[in-house]
Amino acid sequence: MSVPSRVLLQNLLPVDAATTATSPVDIRIVDGIITEIASSLQPAPDEEVHNFSGAYVSGGWMDMHVHLREPGFEHKETIESGCSAAAFGGFTAVACMPNTNPPIHTRDVVEYIIKKAAALPVDVYPIACVSKERKGHSITEMADLKEGGAVAFSDDGDPVFDSKLMRIALDYASMLDMPIINHEEDLALSRPGHMHEGRVATRLGLAGTPSIAEEVMIARDILLAELTGGHVHVAHISTRNGVDLVRQAKKKGIPVTTEVCPHHFDLTEEEIERRHFDTNCKMHPPLRTADDVQAMIEGLADGTIDVICTDHAPHAVEEKEVEFIYAPNGILGLETAWGVSVRRLLDSGALSLNQLIDKLCVKPREILRLNVPEVALGARANLTIFNTDARWEFTADHIRSKSVNTPYTGTMMHGKALAVFNKGQLVRND
């Protein structure tokens, strides 16, 4: 990583949510600001030069659903290691969930996270708790949390189960113009499930989590959003009926958005059987059916699903190396999101490159009311440089997280994030 005052990035094809350049350009950055965009710029004597040989460049990507584990669980991940994983994956910004210890339920925890990340090349935006201590009994001091720098509210890791509390939270959040991000799960229906409820779970002798446990909560939150006018963001959607519920709500103009993780548009429940109870295939919501996977892709294509995120959830080796029913839910995602997305969505023709950039760069920030970075003169340089044609095997050597719990070790990736530029810092991965 370098922190030069003058940088020249050569041979790049700018792409955004609407257009893709056909001829490469050079981008000159001085003190973190884009000062020139033109073909064949001549390097200055004091300039650091990087030639990317026709790779793409877009505004920096954002993952709006990660677990950085700090404070409290630094044996799994730290803010620094999580940001390193993000930069490797092409992300210049992340929004971190509040299931830490202490939870992100007071302003001082919000400010601690922001301060800890200030010098890192990745922007970190805390998502604060809906309820105090994430216990679901009373709402947090939402206005104070927003003033401290929180960008949304969630009790992620757990749902906001109390419908009255959720209604009150949506009322307050709407006054603050902030979304509530809910982990959609009816615990009475889902417990004690360890994977998707279906034939595979029956064959394996594992208790299943039915799709309806997710769908019931999505339906409830859509109705509450319609009632209050508050913005509900459905976290890590995974079922066909859930996508249909969001699709119909959007048609009615209800303020609801949603996201999907690469593993939910790529892997199915059968991975658990094929990999002989590999705990790196255990997450929540669980891997679903092939039909659900197809529904995720369809939802991305028609705009029902707004965002691609990862739910990056590191766990220590000793926590995952136990019997399947005792292993915690969650996998890494930051390092592999682009390689999986290109293979499953771009190369298949399901989404265009512009649509991918929209879901990785634009929509997350629009949902969180953040400025969207652009490849434009005078803009602060917040950039992701990437290709779509690289073919490479993801190995443990590519993991930048402090943990290693991923089902993608040994998997061929399509496309690679080559570098990120943010806060005047260039991080190269090639």
Q: What is the pLDDT of residue 2?
A: 47
Helix (H, G, I), strand (E, B) or coil at 282: coil
* Of 127, 122, 126, 125, nearest in space to 83 by CA: 122
Q: Are 12 and 57 in contact (CB under 8 A)?
A: yes
Amino acid at 284: H
* Of 234, 235, 241, nearest in space to 211 by CA: 241
What's the rounded Cα separation, in Å, for the pair 235 and 258? 6
Query: Which residues, given as ranges, of the chain have pLDDT below 50?
Result: 1-2
Q: What is the number of other CB atoms lying within 10 angstroms of the CB of residue 356?
A: 25
Q: Are 401 and 332 in contact (CB under 8 A)?
A: yes
The superfamily in CATH containing domain 60-367 is Metal-dependent hydrolases (3.20.20.140)
311 is catalytic: yes
Helix (H, G, I), strand (E, B) or coil at 18: coil
Burial (CB count <10 Å: 0-12, 13-18, 19+), residue 105: buried
Residues 6 or more apart whose CB falls under 8 angstroms from that of 306 comprise: 257, 258, 259, 359, 363, 367
Q: What is the pLDDT of residue 430?
A: 78
Angle between helices 107-117 and 79-89 (to 10 degrees): 60
Amino acid at 139: I
What's the rounded Cα separation, in Å, for the pair 338 and 85? 12
Q: What is the pLDDT of residue 3?
A: 67
Amino acid at 114: I
Q: What is the pLDDT of residue 1?
A: 47
Predicted TM-score (pTM) of the model is: 0.98
DSSP-derived secondary structure letter, 207: -
CATH 3.20.20.140 in the chain: give the residue spans.
60-367
Helix (H, G, I), strand (E, B) or coil at 211: helix
CATH 2.30.40.10 in the chain: give the residue spans.
6-57+377-428
What's the rounded Cα separation, in Å, for the pair 272 and 289? 12
Q: What is the pLDDT of residue 79?
A: 99
What token pair was written down for 428? 């190269």
Sign of CA dihedral 86, 90, 93, 95: negative
Q: Which of 123, 155, 186, 311 is catalytic?
A: 311
Can you name the CATH fold of 6-57+377-428? Answer: Urease, subunit C; domain 1 (2.30.40)
What's the rounded Cα separation, in Å, for the pair 155 and 153? 7
What's the rounded Cα separation, in Å, for the pair 10 and 426? 14
Angle 316-317-323 (CA atoms, 0-180°, nearest 5)?
110
Sign of CA dihedral 310, 105, 125, 73: negative
